[in-house]
Structure 1
Amino acid sequence: MRILMLFCNNFPYPPTRGATEGRTFNLLKYLNQHHEVTLFARRIENITEAEVEQLRSFTSHLVLFPPREIAVAQKGVVGVIGKVWRFLEGLFQMIPTSVLSYYSPEIQSEIDKYVSQKKCDVIVCEQSISEVFIRPEYRQKVKTVVDIHSSVYGWVRNHLEHGASEYPLRDFLYLPLLYRYEQRYCAKFSRLVATTDYDREQLLKISPKAQITLVPNGVDLEMFPYRSQDPGGHSLIFIGTMSATHNIDAARFFALEVFPKIQQQYPDATFTIVGAKPGQEVLELGQRPGIIVTGTVPSIADYLHQATVCVVPLRVGLGIKTKTLESMATGIPIVASNRGLEGLTVDGEGVPLRAIRANQVEEYVAAIARLFEDAKLREEVSRNGRSTIELEYTWERAGQLYEQVLEVE
């Protein structure tokens, strides 16, 4: 099968760059073992030629385009005037400006050639932003699939409902446009891919006739090996890209509302926030007793191995959480919210305990205290979590499911 994969908003290497990049790279890596995969991607700042060549080795053909900033500048609409122009253009075309800003006539022309010259059997859009390059008429000539890492309408609405939006007025006014936009672009594709049942349900409300298949995220078990021992102690950890609004909200909620109560019971307790690009809101937390903000670290797995319990106190954000899967893979016991455990079966009748669920402050305190005090419980949750990842959430398994979607007639 000849696959044209579009990741026209970023560069998916190294896979540790982020959850979106990691998913794209690992699915690409799997598919290229069995098929001819051409990847269209953009160069970004600080990418080295060595990294370009490394990514090229995982593709049949790699086609790179200029960074988005250059593409926008070439339109001749930059600065404030450019923003206003793109906003009006987005309203007219019913496409969010955040999506429209990634459009490039150069990329569009190359995709048109691939379709007209019948150089691919299927076009795959990794993340919905790349849908801006898919013409409705493509569907009559080639199979089209979009891997919706997360519903843009659902994401914005979720942030608004929980008071986590950076620009609530703008997002509130944008919601009707986002609904119609998602409805329109879903109709262009032969099949849709979602990561969780919740996301699929939300997408079906928008596009009831859509063919939607679940393909969860996976974990690279070599990058996230199982811990060699339980370190004990009273150390807590939270991981994630710390420039993301949902992670900022989670870190502040736990640090300001939950951790002080933990410290009352365990004065020596520590809370380490691990992740790239911490903003001022997160950095300020590091000034509080017992809280450490690391920024980027060489190995997240090493930090997970050294901590007693991992918390995933997310209150907003849709989709299966890579941070949860990677933490489970390392064997660290997890206390997480419903949002942090979305898409996972971790408890209930007949289900081995794989993580402990908590949503309110008191529930977090009680769950963490249980794990601090009970080494056997930590071991049980640890082994069950790792076993779940090995059986259900490897990239090999995700790749197989993805491949089946692409092969369906």
Structure 2
Amino acid sequence: MKKIVILTPRFPFPVIGGDRLRIYFLCKELSKHFSLTLLSLCESKEEMEMDVSDDTVFDNIERVYMPKWRSYFNCLCCLPTKTPLQVAYYKNNEFQKKLITLSKVNDAVFSHLVRVSEYTKNINLPKIIELTDAISMNYERVSGLAKSFGFKNLVYSLEQSRLKKYEKSIATKFDYSVLVSQIDKDYLFHPDDAVYERVLVCSNGVDTQTLSYEYGKGYKQLIFIGNLYSIQNLDAAYWFAKNVMPSLREIDDYTFKIVGRIKSNDAKKFDQFDAVYLTGSVESILDEVRGSLAGICSVRLGAGVQNKILEYMSLGIPTITSSTGLEGIEATPDKNILVADKPSEYINAILKLSKDATFAETISLNARNYVVSKHSWGTRVLPVIKACKSLLIDNHIES
């Protein structure tokens, strides 16, 4: 069996959060065809010592400790250069040495995110990079809209230009690049670019067995799932709490539950809003969100495919998303998903779901059918599987 070494900038365990979910389930499908070794940076001693002996995806797991202070120092040193902070943050000599050693006993390298792309430049093996999102498009939106985020916004503005150039150029160093949506691909590359045909679109999947369908009716709870350490999720949840919830509360006893990690200083910003509840990290997302009237995806910033939408749909929770949130998802508005951008549009959608149980359940059923048929991981990662086989199996047979 051919062997692939998987490079990740963050330890993918526990398997929660968008980037961890994506790389883990992608590797789960790859492991059906190849032997995988994980080489991952870890930012804490807990990650270095975490017991993952029950994992069945990776045949071998190598870890390298990368404390945050070293990452911050790397970023400081790179400011006068053209290297994106996203890349400098994860520079680690020990990681590079381990990859060189592993490259001697593996047949290919699979890099997860642009953050670890530099490590492969001098590795003479077939290479694939899983970019996921066009991060520079995300940064462009943040710098153009999130003026209230002060210093963060300044960093995003400075980073955006150099990152876009880097994303476009790094793709030329790999046999294949992978993005989560056609929108991300077309933002970075033109059809006339030499690499265009080697840039694969591989959307996110959803674990429909774990996120089982269970439609609930009669509740007035609205939920938002997301890591609020992310400026995109923080902006989305805060915007909805500020601009939609006060008007809803005047109509009926609607509540808004935000499920996900959040910094204590950011949590205080929500104290001013009535009936807005923060759970922080939870052991079971299912227990927190079952029976909700609607899942909210009010993102104004960001790129790629929103996992929260796929999770809502799989669970049977009618979904209301912004136009930005719908990008990369082929669901049909008013059939299996609702789309809103203005506060009044969110309110109208919520009231319709609340007053018309038949309509709400139809949206719920259609949404579940959509993710089952269109977003199984096995189906979504097929382009990546085929690319790996073409590099490692088909070429080997020809030679």
TM-score (norm 2): 0.90
Q: Distance in 2 between matches of 1:336 and 1:303?
A: 20
Aligned to 1:85: 77
AA matched with 1:222: Q
3-state SS, counterpart of residue 40 of structure 1: strand
CA drift of 1:286 comes to: 4.1
Among candidates 148, 153, 168, match of residue 136 of structure 2: 153
Q: How far apart are residue 304 of structure 1 and its match? A: 2.2
CA change 1:47–1:108 in 2 (3 A) is closer
Cα deviation, 1:24-76, whole Å, max 9, x if unaligned, reads 11111221122111111123422374533234x42122111123448x38xxx
Query: How far apart are residue 258 of structure 1 and its match?
Result: 1.0
User: Secondary structure, in 3 states, of the residue corresponding to 1:10?
Assistant: coil
2:47 match: secondary structure: coil
Q: 1:312 to 1:26 in 2, by over 3 A?
A: same
Structure 2 residue 97 is the aligned partner of structure 1 residue 109: yes
Equivalences for 1:209-228 in 2 at 5 Å? Answer: 209-210=194-195, 211-227=198-214
DSSP-derived class of the 1:221 partner? coil
Conserved 8 A contact 1:271-1:291:
yes
1:26 matched to 2:22? The reply is no
Stretch deviating more after TM superposition (320-329 or 339-348): 339-348
After TM superposition, list the pairs within 5 Å mapping 1:390-401 onto structure 2: 390-401=372-383
Query: 1:142 corresponds to which residue?
Result: 125
TM-score (norm 1): 0.88
* Partner residue in 2 for 1:310: 295
Indicate yes or no: 2:390 matched with 1:404.
no
Whole-angstrom distance in 1 between the partners of 2:106 and 2:48: 29
- Post-superposition Cα deviations, 1:333-381, rounded to whole Å, max 9, x if no partner, equal 0111012222112226xxx711101111111111111111110111111
| 1:203 lines up with 2:188 in the alignment | yes
Matched with 2:11 is: 11
| Structure 1 unaligned regions, length at least 5 | none
1:87 maps to amino acid? L
Q: C-alpha separation between the residues in 2 aligned to 1:250 and 1:181?
A: 28
> In structure 1, what is the equivalent of residue 216 of structure 2?
230
Task: Name the CA shift for 1:108/1:206 in 2 (closer, same or farther; >3 Å).
Answer: farther
Q: How far does residue 279 in structure 1 lie from its aligned partner after superposition?
A: 4.1
What's the counterpart of residue 395 of structure 2?
Answer: none
**Partner deviation per Cα, 1:140-189 (whole Å, 9 max, x = no partner):** x4221111121222121121122255533343333332232222212111
1-structure distance, mates of 2:54, 2:43? 15
Match of 1:132 among 118, 125, 136: 118
Name the structure 1 match of 2:243: 257
Residues 53-104 of structure 1 deviation map (CA, whole Å, 9 limit, x = unaligned): 234x42122111123448x38xxxx76xx6542323xx1xx31133113112
The answer to whether the Cα contact below 8 Å between 1:186 and 1:207 also exists between their aligned partners in 2 is no
Secondary structure of the residue that 1:124 maps to in structure 2?
Answer: strand
Q: Does the alignment pair 1:177 with 2:162?
A: yes
Rounded to whole Å, the distance in 2 between the matches of 1:343 and 1:274 is 23
How many Å separate the matches in 2 of 1:47 and 1:84?
A: 25
- Alignment match, 1:270: 255
User: 1:223 touches 1:301 (CA, 8 Å); kept in 2?
Assistant: no
* Farther off after superposition, 156-165 or 42-51: 42-51
Distance of 2:336 and 2:206 partners within structure 1: 16
Q: Distance in 2 between matches of 1:178 and 1:50?
A: 33
Asked if 1:325 corresponds to 2:300, the answer is no
Aligned counterparts of 2:212 and 2:115: Cα–Cα separation in 1: 33
Partners of 1:216 and 1:397 lie apart in 2 by 10
Query: Does the C-alpha gap of structure 1 residues 333 and 183 become closer, same or farther in structure 2, counting only changes over 3 Å?
Result: same
| 1:63 to 1:206, Cα distance in 2 relative to 1, 3 A | farther
The CA distance in 1 between the partners of 2:249 and 2:180, in whole Å, is 36
**Deviation (angstroms), 1:327:** 0.9
Compute the RMSD of aligned alpha carbons: 2.3
Distance 1:271 1:104 in 2: 42
